[in-house]
Structure 1
Amino acid sequence: MRVEQLECLVAVTRHGSLRRASEHLHLSQPALSESITRLERELGVLLLDRRRSGARISRDGRELLPYVEAVLESVSRLRKAAGDTDLASRLLRVGTVSTATSTLLNPVLRTLAEERPESRIEVVNARQEEIDEGLRRGSLDVGLVNVLGGDDPPAGLVDVPLLTGPVVVVMPADHAFTAREEVAVSELLDEPFVAMREGYLMHRLALRVFGTHWPRAWASTDGAELGKAMVADGAGLTFLPRFSVDGDALQRAGAITHRPLAGLDEEVHLVVRTRAQGRRTAPLDRLLTLLQTRAAGLREVPAEDRIA
């Protein structure tokens, strides 16, 4: 049982319908309905009367509503007592799949530290499903994840687009493929390959690209940063979103470069993911603003000119 589920039930009660409640919470109606359905399963009672004309709180729901409101009030008092809005004691927790770290995340963290020296930020490298779970549980405040076109955020979470780019083959700067304008999938089959571990979008994309015929020699790792380091050390080639490589420290140092992956039109989108109903503290708002501002600046700068 999550606080967000209780807040969904109260919203439907106060606004009189799923539609109006979803608009208030900035959630889709299916996501809102699913959140309450899960709460119903946990409690073993029907909380909403769902009819063609709409959904209203049920008799059981009305009887439980005072207890729900009491829990939410207690949570509010707990947050206030803990000084949750106190900037000096606020820890921001950022979950990332380690993409565009040098060009996007690190500069934003430097700016935030300069503006607010008392701020405390914890960056956690994790798979996307772990980031989503951390956001839902409240152990993370922000997630930086990669998605494909048409991917929707999980129920209770919202995405704001930051960067979009094609998939490129990442290679050592002295690799023979640097003479090519693009690299075919078939050519990768004879090269050692560095794959992202299951749970990362690039692993999902590798399954789509290679199907049942993977490179004969390959290794797997966690996140783009480790993948680029392994490529620089000669462990193999990999593919990543172009925005994860352009301006990276290893690229600027001349250790790695990239070429387009032929025959793949899919673009990858980097988004910042947060809780739909999460409390927006001043440090969190500033972090989100800086991420969007920095991303907008990167979109205006040619890839070859990007620096951290």
Structure 2
Amino acid sequence: MELRQLRYFIAIVDHGSLSRAAKVLHIVQPALTQQLQHLEEELGATLLHRSAQGMQATDAGKLFYEHAQAILKQVSDAKSAVTQSADKPSGTVALGIPQSVSGALAFPLLTAVRAAFPDIVFQLTEELTGNLTEQLKSGRLNLAILFDDGQLQNHFACTPLVEEEMMYITRADSQFACKRKSISLKKALQTPLILPSIQHGVRPGIEKVAREHGLEIEQVIDITSIAILKSALLADMGATILPAAPMLAEIERGELLAWPVSDVKLSRTVTLCASKNIPLTNAAMAVEKRVLDVTRQLCLQRVWPHTRNLMS
């Protein structure tokens, strides 16, 4: 198996066509077809099939695509580690960030990295926490922002960033709005709640605290997308329990209101993670430091609300 075969396969999947992939790769289509056949013979599996929509990956092809991307990413990182200067880092750095943190951290971080390191190709990926974990394990990501569930240290090198308070959030004029300055957990859980699905980093934490206090969520609407969750809140379908950061724009405009949960500690630890097994390039280490600097600044300036800085 050759690296070029991996690149060829990825190009076919990305472009959905042998002819388009051949054009992008600057090779003739028969040669591309031959390399694909050699790859499938070596693996003993069919990776692609023709459909009305073009060339599409089979189940085996989808799995191989993920591994191929990770392998090529690590090869690229290895080259960068040897050739780049510590004083002027360059190369590609991929950082994954959860949807519920993106609103607070993504743009300030992107701006800071581009200003400080113009030779770094900085790739920000917004995903669900579970997807980010798998991509970091496989090497497709250099770094990821994850939520510490007590198990992260078993798999990754971790740096806690902030502790983020969970808030009870409703539409400003909602029938579910709180009449006081805060709300009890029991009262909040009796409300129809719009929450991310169970595999999301927020939901297990809420359910764990509820169980510890002999409570359970009475009514829940599962919505994984932050954008759709906001729409459901604004339609007054229920309330949510989330950090304020992903709703900050709507809260500042007065469309949504947020209250603290008064009788229990309901929070999550936002953590910067890297692989224990794959070394960071100089560029990735430069971005890692910038994440810490930007996060610290956002907390000090209270731009990232309801957070406690965990960095020394």
TM normalised by structure 1 equals: 0.61
Q: Find the aligned partners of 2:151 and 2:77 in 1 and give their Cα distance.
A: 33
Provide structure 2 residue ranges, at least 5 long, that are not aligned to the other structure.
1-71, 307-312
- After superposition, the C-alpha distances for 1:203-246 in whole angstroms (9 at most, x for unaligned) are 10232245574233x3222265654454244332111235x358
1:259 to partner: Cα distance: 0.5
State the AA in 2 paired with 1:175. Answer: S
Q: 1:78 to 1:106 in 2, by over 3 A?
A: closer
Tell me the residue number matched to 2:171: 172
SS in 2 for 1:208: helix
- After superposition, the C-alpha distances for 1:28-56 in whole angstroms (9 at most, x for unaligned) are xxxxxxxxxxxxxxxxxxxxxxxxxxxxx
* Corresponding residue to 2:221 among 198, 208, 219: 219
- After superposition, where does 1:86-97 map in structure 2 within 5 Å? 90-97=91-98
SS in 2 for 1:272: strand
Q: 1:203 to 1:156 in 2, by over 3 A?
A: closer
Tell me the residue number matched to 1:265: 265
State the AA in 1 paired with 2:132. Answer: I
Q: 1:191 to 1:112 in 2, by over 3 A?
A: same
Q: Find the aligned partners of 2:279 and 2:221 in 1 and give their Cα distance.
A: 40
Q: 1:206 to 1:251 in 2, by over 3 A?
A: same
1:292 to partner: Cα distance: 0.7
- Report how many aligned residue pairs link the two structures: 226
Q: Tell whether the 8 Å contact from 2:202 to 2:268 is kept in structure 1 after alignment.
A: no
1:285 to partner: Cα distance: 1.9
1:114 to partner: Cα distance: 3.0
Q: 1:286 to 1:88 in 2, by over 3 A?
A: closer
Tell me the residue number matched to 1:138: 139
Q: Find the aligned partners of 1:80 and 1:123 in 2 and give their Cα distance.
A: 16
SS in 1 for 2:122: strand
Q: Find the aligned partners of 1:132 and 1:80 in 2 and give their Cα distance.
A: 19
Q: Find the aligned partners of 1:298 and 1:276 in 2 and give their Cα distance.
A: 28
Q: 1:286 to 1:179 in 2, by over 3 A?
A: farther
Tell me the residue number matched to 1:121: 122
Provide structure 1 residue ranges, at least 5 long, that are not aligned to the other structure.
1-74
SS in 1 for 2:154: coil
State the AA in 1 paired with 2:240. Answer: T
TM normalised by structure 2 equals: 0.61
Q: 1:134 to 1:256 in 2, by over 3 A?
A: same
Q: Find the aligned partners of 2:200 and 2:281 in 1 and give their Cα distance.
A: 29
